[in-house]
Homo-oligomer: A and B are copies of this chain.
């Protein structure tokens, strides 16, 4: 197994859009910097939470160019490079590797349903072969609720075996702890980095060989989630986990991406942040009010670090 560039709390960064619906590079750079200041261990830009698949390949590459030009350390970046075609995926990965990104997060091809495991294997293998770079560190992105195409435990094993220097980890957004545990039991021992796709499973994951989490709510709760990561061997771990689980469940009672953007708009005093790109819809005013009231009830804030940074 190759060296592991990532561990801890990674954030699939929300993508801000302008009033005209264009990616807002200025706000994006500032938000990425703020997340790192909050203690994020890595930025999984261009994930599902980032509305990456609502952007063209060109728009994604342009935003990455802007981040790097602005001084965000590429080693901290794990851009999503998923695409339905081998050619587009390879283009996105070459661009990311060319910038020195720490890794890339790779969806399976997600248009055609009912494909065989061999077909998915051949797709990923063709992408890696086409990229042809020893610098590539690929994290598989298992998110069957959106893709309907799984990276099964068996398929992950085949890919690790064929590409031990390139296929170095996985984000499990199945929402199914049994699946995460099966992956941990099978591959964590050999140094394969497994990140649950929700902080709800952070403590369980760490106790079974996981290395952190990559979670949407990191956009608004890095300090809370990092407390679990930093203290998972202590007697406080379960209580800390209960706190972040409560925050997560409060937020995910609403459509996740619009809800997170509304929270950012509120706590950063920047209403423009609420914009989403279709097919997503922004929260209605009653939904927004209800969400913010629910968060107030549990005493949710953006965390101490933010207040320090603002002072």
- Give the B-binding residues of A (Cβ under 8 A): 21, 48, 53-59, 83-88, 91, 108-113, 115-116, 118-120, 122-123, 125-126, 145-146, 148-149, 277-281
Report the Cα distance A235→B119, complex, angstroms.
Answer: 46
- CB <8 Å contact, B115 and A54: no
Question: What B residues does A115 contact at CB under 8 A?
Answer: 279-281
- CB <8 Å contact, B279 and A109: yes
A56, A59, A123: which has the most chain B beta carbons within 10 Å?
Answer: A56
- CB <8 Å contact, B84 and A53: yes
Given known pairs A86-B21, A110-B111, A113-B145, the reply for A280 and B119 (CB within 8 Å) is yes
Name the CB-closest residue of B to A107.
B111
| Chain B nearest CB, measured from A181 CB (Å) | 25
Number of copies: 2
- CB <8 Å contact, B53 and A112: yes
Report the Cα distance A118→B284, complex, angstroms.
Answer: 13
Given known pairs A110-B111, A119-B278, A280-B115, the reply for A56 and B88 (CB within 8 Å) is yes
Question: Which of B48, B85, B91, B113 touches A54 (beta carbons < 8 Å)?
Answer: B85
- CB <8 Å contact, A57 and B56: yes
Chain A to chain B contacts (Cβ below 8 Å), 16 pairs: A48-B111, A53-B84, A53-B112, A54-B84, A54-B85, A57-B88, A58-B87, A59-B85, A109-B278, A115-B279, A115-B281, A116-B279, A118-B281, A120-B278, A120-B279, A122-B279
- CB <8 Å contact, B278 and A111: no
Name the CB-closest residue of B to A89.
B56
Given A53-B84, A54-B112, A123-B279, 8 new contacts (CB under 8 A): A48-B112, A53-B111, A54-B86, A56-B88, A110-B110, A111-B146, A115-B279, A122-B278
- CB <8 Å contact, A281 and B146: no
| Chain B nearest CB, measured from A162 CB (Å) | 14
Given known pairs A119-B279, A279-B120, the reply for A87 and B59 (CB within 8 Å) is yes
Question: What B residues does A110 contact at CB under 8 A?
Answer: 110-111
| Chain B nearest CB, measured from A16 CB (Å) | 16
Question: What B residues does A149 contact at CB under 8 A?
Answer: 279
The 9 residue pairs across chains A and B that have the minimum distance between CB atoms: A53-B111, A119-B279, A122-B278, A123-B278, A115-B279, A56-B88, A53-B84, A56-B87, A123-B279
Question: What B residues does A119 contact at CB under 8 A?
Answer: 278-281
Name the CB-closest residue of B to A130.
B21
Question: What B residues does A281 contact at CB under 8 A?
Answer: 115-116, 118-119, 122
Question: What B residues does A54 contact at CB under 8 A?
Answer: 84-86, 109, 111-112
- CB <8 Å contact, B146 and A112: yes
Question: Which of B59, B85, B278, B279 touches A53 (beta carbons < 8 Å)?
Answer: B85
Name the CB-closest residue of B to A91.
B56
Question: What B residues does A277 contact at CB under 8 A?
Answer: 85-86
Question: What B residues does A118 contact at CB under 8 A?
Answer: 281
